[in-house]
Amino acid sequence: MEIERKFLIGELPESLLSHCTDTIKLDFPFHEIEQGYLCTKPVVRIRRQDDSYFLTYKSKGFMSREEYNLPLTKEAYEHLRTKTDGVYIKKTRYIIPADMGLQIELDIFHGAHKGLMLAEVEFPDEQTALNYQPPVWLGEEVTFSEKFHNSYLSQHPFISA
């Protein structure tokens, strides 16, 4: 079971930034991710995260939903990549330590979704999720908005305001 809350980031606080030319770079561990969707209802996606490959199924839902990850070989991933539909999602995911032993996963999108920044916080249970008080910089909560699911974004590229 995946239990998470999602937040739209408008601007990162200066305390997190480390400036490099015109790109955002943070001094936290990160992963380079690309993913595509074989199906959006139900969600069946393939993902490359650094040098690892996965096939994922996600059930319906917003804050809580079932999620199954199965490992793929690079060859299987490349084969399935040709079968995806919509826009491929590309993002850098930073792992930022948070209170209560939690982690903020900050996604900075590239390509068709450039300008979009979303943060997710995963929780061990729904009560912890409901009681969580996010730092102010996390911005507007979009946990219950379908338009910020990556599966939705694959069909509707983000348009920066």
- Residue from 37, 53, 77, 94 carrying the catalytic annotation: 37
Report the pLDDT value the prediction gives residue 27, as an integer from 0 to 100.
80
Report the pLDDT value the prediction gives residue 12, as an integer from 0 to 100.
87
φ, ψ dihedrals at 127, nearest 5°: -65, -45
Contacts of 116 (CB under 8 A, 6+ apart): 107, 109, 153, 158, 160
Burial class (CB in 10 A: 0-12, 13-18, 19+), 11: exposed
Contacts of 148 (CB under 8 A, 6+ apart): 6, 8, 118, 142
Report d(CA 75, CA 53) in Å as an integer.
10
132 annotated active-site = no
Report the pLDDT value the prediction gives residue 87, as an integer from 0 to 100.
94
Q: What is the mean pLDDT of each run of 10 residues along the chain (161 residues)?
A: 96 70 70 97 97 97 96 98 96 93 95 94 97 94 95 87 51
Model pTM? 0.91
Inter-residue contact 107 to 93 (CB < 8 Å): yes
Inter-residue contact 91 to 110 (CB < 8 Å): yes
